[in-house]
């Protein structure tokens, strides 16, 4: 482009520069000037603007993250190398790691309840693979999801000393564990790679596959955090068999969220096979589940793929119109108020049930569709109403929403089964009427 003259009241000349590596140094070259084939050209650019008042340099630098979400089986089998090398790019890098010049090191943070179940297997895995490792077992609950917990991890990580490029931190646990460890890793040496191993259905579907990390602060959910994805997430459904039934139901709320927003088939799978999935704990070889085993793989894969479709183009939430926010406008405040009585997915489902009534009152779903959705929720053993979700809380949460969403509500609502749109003009009258009908019809389901 070269030099561009802009008529904006003051005379301004802008020059575009590529950044070219010559030997060991980067240097500017005007765009479209000749570049030797042996020179490396950065995707970054510098725009230099000269005006009567001075010089302005604008740096445009693409930031690209690449991370893997890998389904695997028997992750803790010492013969399965995924946990150690699955994050590497290409077979050559993996081979190099298997024959290291120095002993492989891994710093592992495990939820303490998970460690009580899988501790011996985790230790055996690293010992069998000759890994120098340290395991930190912590009570990673929503009540402990704090900066203090992140700092404790950082202190232990610092004393263990790892290579911040080749020795990723490993987090094994539920969503809270994955969030805290992710934030700690993003802070250590400005960014240390980390790996997520979800052990609950909720984290398997939701927290493990995105880029968000965080801790609670000032009595607000995830008010401190960063968008730093893991280098890899390893999905092994065998962990789910040790999860209590209520926590299986809790995770299915996030699956239902994606079904209502994006995928009718997923909704129908949950509607038809929800009880079987609860009984089998998503174990395809379960005798309880029998001939319906394919629904395990189909339902979890649809939930993950639809989640990735929404997250991948918007990892940093630059676009505030997000279907994945369904059930997450009011629930953060409600969840903090009800801790520890209700789980995350349970609170999300309470809001989703209310929002289904908002859709119905707005004429976006039929009464039959509304009844099918609520029936599916009940079948999944999820709460559909709570007395703490008052109109005052709803209106307060939506006002708070305006502060953080560019002055618009951006309310995702179903417009049928497996279809959704985002609305900014839902009237107060509709919200109040929907709340009355929701309470009148569903308060008998109070938890």
Quick one: CA torsion of 302, 303, 307, 309, rounded to 10 degrees? 10
Phi, psi angles (nearest 5°) of residue 348: -60, -40
Cβ neighbours for 104, distance < 8 A, ≥ 6 positions apart: 84, 97, 129, 130, 131, 132, 167
For residues 183 and 225, the answer to whether their CB atoms sit within 8 Å is yes
> How many contiguous H segments (helices) and E segments (strands) does the chain have?
14, 15
The closest alpha carbon to 187, from 158, 154, 210, 216, belongs to 154
Tell me how far CA of residue 344 lies from CA of 52, 170, 308, 333, in angstroms: 56, 23, 20, 11
The closest alpha carbon to 440, from 380, 401, 385, belongs to 385
Annotated active-site residue in 212, 257, 262, 370: 212
To which H or E segment does residue 404 belong?
helix 391-404
Residues 310, 221, 354, CA angle at the centre, nearest 5°? Answer: 65
Expressed in percent and rounded to 5, the helix, strand and coil fractions of the chain are: 45, 20, 30
**Active site annotation includes 370:** no
CA of residue 393 relative to chain centroid, distance: 25
Cβ neighbours for 148, distance < 8 A, ≥ 6 positions apart: none
DSSP state, 35?
A: -
Cα distance between residue 206 and residue 222, in whole Å: 15
Phi, psi angles (nearest 5°) of residue 299: -70, -45
CA neighbours closer than 13 Å in the CB half-sphere of residue 305: 9
The closest alpha carbon to 109, from 71, 67, 149, belongs to 149
Residues classed as catalytic:
212
């Amino acid at each position: 482009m070269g030099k561009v003259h802009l008529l904006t009241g003051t005379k301004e000349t802008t020059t575009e520069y590529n950044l070219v590596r010559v030997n060991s140094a980067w240097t500017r070259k005007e765009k479209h000037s000749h570049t030797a084939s042996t020179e490396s050209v950065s995707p970054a650019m510098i725009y230099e603007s000269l005006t009567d008042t001075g010089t302005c340099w604008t740096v445009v630098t693409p930031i690209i993250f690449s991370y893997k979400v890998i389904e695997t089986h028997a992750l803790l089998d010492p013969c399965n190398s995924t946990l150690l090398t699955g994050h590497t790019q290409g077979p050559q890098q993996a081979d190099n790691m298997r024959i290291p010049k120095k002993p492989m090191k891994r710093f592992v943070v495990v939820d303490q309840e998970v460690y009580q179940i899988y501790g011996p297997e985790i230790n055996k895995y690293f010992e069998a693979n000759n890994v120098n490792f340290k395991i930190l077992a912590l009570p990673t609950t929503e009540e402990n999801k704090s900066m203090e917990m992140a700092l404790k991890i950082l202190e232990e990580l610092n004393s263990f000393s790892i290579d911040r490029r080749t020795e990723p931190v490993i987090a094994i646990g539920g969503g809270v564990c994955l969030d805290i460890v992710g934030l700690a890793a993003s802070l250590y040496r400005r960014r240390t790679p980390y790996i997520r191993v979800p052990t609950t259905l909720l984290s398997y579907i939701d927290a493990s596959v995105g880029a968000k990390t965080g801790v609670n602060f000032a009595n607000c959910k995830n008010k401190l955090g960063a968008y730093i994805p893991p280098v890899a997430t390893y999905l092994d459904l065998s962990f789910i068999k040790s999860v209590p039934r209520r926590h299986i139901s809790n995770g299915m709320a996030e699956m239902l969220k994606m079904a209502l927003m994006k995928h009718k088939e997923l909704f129908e799978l949950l509607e038809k096979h929800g009880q079987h999935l609860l009984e089998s704990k998503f174990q395809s070889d379960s005798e309880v589940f029998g001939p319906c085993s394919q629904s395990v793989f189909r339902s979890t894969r649809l939930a993950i793929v639809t989640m990735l479709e929404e997250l991948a183009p918007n990892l940093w939430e630059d676009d505030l119109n997000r279907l994945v926010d369904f059930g997450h406008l009011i629930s953060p405040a409600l969840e903090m108020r009800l801790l520890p009585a209700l789980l995350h997915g349970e609170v999300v489902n309470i809001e989703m049930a209310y929002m289904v009534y908002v859709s119905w009152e707005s004429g976006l779903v039929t009464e039959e569709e509304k009844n099918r959705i609520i029936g599916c929720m009940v079948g999944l053993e999820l709460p559909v109403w709570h007395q703490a979700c008052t109109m005052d809380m709803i209106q307060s949460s939506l006002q708070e929403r305006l502060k953080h969403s560019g002055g618009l509500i951006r309310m995702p609502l179903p417009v049928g089964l497996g279809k959704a749109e985002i609305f900014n003009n839902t009237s107060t009258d509709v919200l109040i009427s929907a709340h009355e009908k929701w309470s009148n019809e569903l308060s008998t389901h109070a938890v």
